[in-house]
Structure 1
Amino acid sequence: MNLEITDRWLSVQEIAHYLGISKETIYRWIDSKKIPAHKIGKQWKFKTQEVDQWILTGEAEDKQ
């Protein structure tokens, strides 16, 4: 039985790489509750589908 896992949970490092930004930026967004993130134990995890939707709806824009 060969099950392929799609849309797996990504780490901070993986989501930073996926978005082409630094891990520090991801942590700043987590602290300000901007990016959709889930804490599992002591680690932050992300679903690419949620992050993609967050970007496409314009919620990722810097409102300064």
Structure 2
Amino acid sequence: MRMASEKQLKNQDQLLTVEELGAYLKISKSSVYRMIERRLIPFFKIRSGLRFDIADVEKYLLSCRTEAMNDENVYGSLKI
């Protein structure tokens, strides 16, 4: 059996379980499972468990981001 490289071990630290993802996003486990059912976030099925790459989670969060409106967006060209 080949020894895991340091890079491979480091990458494993970036995988989250369903419970860890829920805690990270501050949502329930059932909400995580709904995200999985809707294919909103990529996941790995490893044996009987699911894992989520933290980089994929960050991409998902960025895709959910809504920019704040600045004064120009709110009032058009009207200066206050």
TM-score range (shorter-chain normalised) is: 0.7 to 0.9
Aligned residue for 2:10?
Answer: 5
Give the RMSD, CA atoms, in angstroms. 2.3
The answer for unaligned runs of 5 or more in structure 1 is none
Helix, strand or coil: the match of 2:27? coil
Helix, strand or coil: the match of 1:34? coil
Q: TM-score, normalised by structure 1?
A: 0.73
The answer for unaligned runs of 5 or more in structure 2 is 1-5, 66-80
Aligned residue for 1:29?
Answer: 35
Which of 34, 45, 50 lines up with 2:51 in the alignment? 45
Shift of 1:48: 1.1
Shift of 1:33: 1.1
1:6-51 deviation per Cα after TM superposition (whole angstroms, max 9, x unaligned): 6521100001101111110000111111112111111110011111
Question: What CA distance in whole angstroms lies between the structure 2 residues aligned with 1:8 and 1:18?
Answer: 12
* Structure with larger Rg: 2
Percent of aligned pairs sharing the same letter? 33
Which of 43, 47, 55 lines up with 2:61 in the alignment? 55
Question: What CA distance in whole angstroms lies between the structure 2 residues aligned with 1:52 and 1:36?
Answer: 11
User: How many residue pairs were aligned?
Assistant: 58
